[in-house]
Structure 1
Amino acid sequence: MEILVDFVQMRGFLMPSPTAQAPAAEVFQTVEWLQHLARHGFEAAPRCWFVGMASGLQGARCALALTLTENGVRGLSNYYSSVFGPVGEGAALAAWSLLAEALRGHPSGAVVDLQPLDAEAPWVDSMATALRAAGYRVDRYFCFGNWYLPVAHACFSDYLRERPSPLRHSIERGRRRLQRAGHVLRILADAGPELEEEIAAFESVYQRSWKVPEPCAAFMPGLIRLAAAQGWLRLGVLRVQGEPVAAQAWLVHAGKANIYKLAYVEGFERFSPGSVLTAALMAHVMDVDRVREVDYLTGDDAYKKDWMSHRRERIGLIAFHPRRLRGLLAAARHFGGKALRSLRPSVPR
């Protein structure tokens, strides 16, 4: 894997190592996450370009992790990433303008595609403005819905009382059946001696669930180990008579709990193992970790609405340089396809 490190200069100042930056609000915008993703999260190793920016001698500093392909420049993200953004504190518009100029002159810079992004993040508007000023044609597109919960409850019990009655009854019924059957529910939050055993349990559940196999087999075990070392990990495993039947990996970082991976073994639905385990982890992050937000991350799955209270959208930002043939052709396909879709008659449900 080739990793390139460039620095965009601003008023004679170069950004220091990204590891010196303030803690990121998103776990997906940390150096540790990006390094693990680059090394273990792609079926073909990406060519990475880590671009640093700074505003003034004492100004905000950040870095953006990009990948270089024959088809353009993309953010260092894929199906494992629930949100993409810069590492660090953010930067002024002038710094983003320098980045846009650097992209315009790069051999891969005919097309720039960044996703999935927080549509409300200030840097997204700054990046779009800078790309337009550099001569790009810029557009936004929908990626997926994201359900989340701003935690406004004193404790988990208060939160649970507000959940839909079918969900509450499912949890209560599952707990009673599990109690009769004999079960153990464990939440692991550190790199203790039980870590490898619980990683094996997680993989066992995932392999026997309805989930498709992971495209990168080393990604999840490595992420669990990384999260344990960083203090992010909340790994829940539910066993019935010693057999792992449900497992969930959550990442807690900067006051936010991210529900990252979950699965249960088919055939144990009568125990509501997924709901019981989610409730236990929710109680842990609310009553022990005292998080300010719980995020169900990627997708508009119907069950997420039962647990969460708010929905937002993740978007993509795509830019084409019309003075380069590859950019012109890609822009024609993108905007032409968008125009055709808008002309299609709506089909009644």
Structure 2
Amino acid sequence: MSKQEALAFVGANAALLDSKTNPPNPFASSEWVHHFIDQVADEDWRIVALEGMADSGNLMLAWHHVATPWRFTSLTNYYASLYSPLASLAGSSEERAAAMRSVVQQLRSVRPRVATLQLAPLDGQSPDTVALLHELRHQGWHARQYFAFGNWTLPCEGLAFDAYIAARDSQVRNTLARKSKKLLAAGSLEILTEEADVDRGMDAWDAIYSRSWKQREPYPDFVRGWARRCARRGWLRLGIASLEGKPIAAQFWFTIDRRAYIFKLAYDEEYSKWSAGTVLTAHMFRHALEADRVVEIDYLTGDDPYKSAWMSDRRERIGVLACNPRSPRGAWAAAREMAGSLSAPLRQRLREVARPQA
């Protein structure tokens, strides 16, 4: 599908993408997928919808470049912290495994033949991912998984904010005790949720971001556009810390189905002595626990050292690279993958055995 065809397809299949039968993943929602295609996909992308057992409603979304139609990739990039390999109306694990089987079978009918399929980041513990790996291997693909990144979370159903803070390490508690009153005496904290406040909040975000350590956004309108979509759906939690009227720290969270996701954060390094990031983080956690009453807070991508101070649990996201030996390109890729998996001593021994004798 072209970009415009894909946008229409996502709109027509919103109910399937947003079905509660799917594991929770905001980055697989119709809202996110539509926004991603609209803002990130180039005109030379082709979006692929693999529909297994079409009457039952099963779908895997991927893409390829027009110049490399044999190389399929998950419909994600670094903005997304989780890729769902299956959207399905099937509820039980057995039904979803059958749905995954039919989706993988659809890969055989694609022409030109798919040589490689790379999907990431995945939940390695998800039954859908387990079924994906099983079906790829069962249907003759050479598939391996690899580590993508760590993901820190806080399961928090029924957790009171005071109890949460009391369980943090002494450095966090001492910083909050010293800095919170000082910052609030000279400044303010606010959490924006309404669409009418998006431009004001994102203007503040952009100003802070430009003065932070962060690199420039490769898609300048992506974050603001996502904030607007979140506000329309009631998901937006945009925290701003200001000092004497000047925004100095910001955090972009969104909350869906009682799960809070920490999407973006930045602070003005000139004001680092105020610890505005720490104070604002505590303010955001209080809102999530007391107002939104979330059951989980998710720090999304990466093992940044500060995340463990605020979270309790760590899980790993993986990627899957699958090569199709029925395709010449896929067979070559599979051979390279298998050679790369050999131990260094064994590779050296094979080279010695294969070396012509003098």
TM-score by length of 1: 0.87
In structure 2, the residue matched to 1:247 is 250
RMSD: 2.3
Q: Which has the larger radius of gyration?
A: 2
Distance 1:274 1:338, change over 3 A: farther
Deviations, residues 148-182 of structure 1 (Å, cap 9, x unaligned): 010055311110000001011112222122134x2
Letter in 2 for 1:63: L
Distance 1:341 1:227, change over 3 A: farther
In structure 1, the residue matched to 2:191 is 187
In structure 2, the residue matched to 1:123 is 128
**Is contact 1:160–1:168 with CA below 8 Å preserved after alignment?**
yes
**Is contact 1:42–1:216 with CA below 8 Å preserved after alignment?**
no
Match of 1:201 among 193, 201, 204: 204
Deviations, residues 290-318 of structure 1 (Å, cap 9, x unaligned): 11000111001111000000000000112
Distance 1:46 1:81, change over 3 A: farther
Larger helix fraction of residues: 2
Q: State the 1:42 CA deviation.
A: 4.7
Percent of aligned positions that are identical: 35
Letter in 1 for 2:39: H
Distance 1:228 1:255, change over 3 A: same
State yes or no: 1:37 paired with 2:42: no
**Is contact 2:250–2:265 with CA below 8 Å preserved after alignment?**
yes
* CA–CA separation in structure 1 for the residues paired with 2:89 and 2:107: 21
Distance 1:338 1:115, change over 3 A: same
Moved more, 256-265 or 315-324: 315-324
Any idea what SS the aligned residue of 2:335 has? helix
Distance 1:77 1:342, change over 3 A: farther
* CA–CA separation in structure 2 for the residues paired with 1:280 and 1:45: 43
Match of 1:306 among 292, 306, 309: 309
* CA–CA separation in structure 2 for the residues paired with 1:270 and 1:336: 52
Deviations, residues 15-43 of structure 1 (Å, cap 9, x unaligned): x9422232452111101101111111357
Letter in 1 for 2:48: W
Q: State the 1:132 CA deviation.
A: 1.9
In structure 1, the residue matched to 2:60 is 64
Distance 1:105 1:54, change over 3 A: closer
User: 1:1-349, aligned counterparts within 5 Å?
Assistant: 1-2=2-3, 17-21=12-16, 22-23=19-20, 25-42=24-41, 46-54=45-53, 61-69=57-65, 70=68, 72-85=71-84, 86-90=86-90, 91-106=95-110, 107=112, 109-180=114-185, 182-191=186-195, 193-340=196-343
Letter in 1 for 2:245: G
Any idea what SS the aligned residue of 1:47 has? strand
**Is contact 2:59–2:103 with CA below 8 Å preserved after alignment?**
no
Distance 1:323 1:290, change over 3 A: same
Distance 1:265 1:343, change over 3 A: farther
Letter in 1 for 2:193: A
Letter in 2 for 1:241: E
Distance 1:208 1:276, change over 3 A: same
* CA–CA separation in structure 2 for the residues paired with 1:240 and 1:44: 43
Distance 1:281 1:328, change over 3 A: same
* CA–CA separation in structure 2 for the residues paired with 1:343 and 1:278: 50
**Is contact 1:245–1:264 with CA below 8 Å preserved after alignment?**
yes
Letter in 1 for 2:3: E
Deviations, residues 189-244 of structure 1 (Å, cap 9, x unaligned): 221x2221111111111111100011111110101001111111111011111111
Letter in 1 for 2:101: S
* CA–CA separation in structure 2 for the residues paired with 1:341 and 1:214: 40
**Is contact 2:51–2:60 with CA below 8 Å preserved after alignment?**
yes
* CA–CA separation in structure 2 for the residues paired with 1:156 and 1:137: 48
* CA–CA separation in structure 2 for the residues paired with 1:42 and 1:261: 21
* CA–CA separation in structure 2 for the residues paired with 1:130 and 1:19: 26
Letter in 2 for 1:20: A
* CA–CA separation in structure 2 for the residues paired with 1:19 and 1:245: 38
Q: State the 1:46 CA deviation.
A: 3.1
Any idea what SS the aligned residue of 1:185 has? strand
In structure 2, the residue matched to 1:8 is none
Q: State the 1:129 CA deviation.
A: 1.8
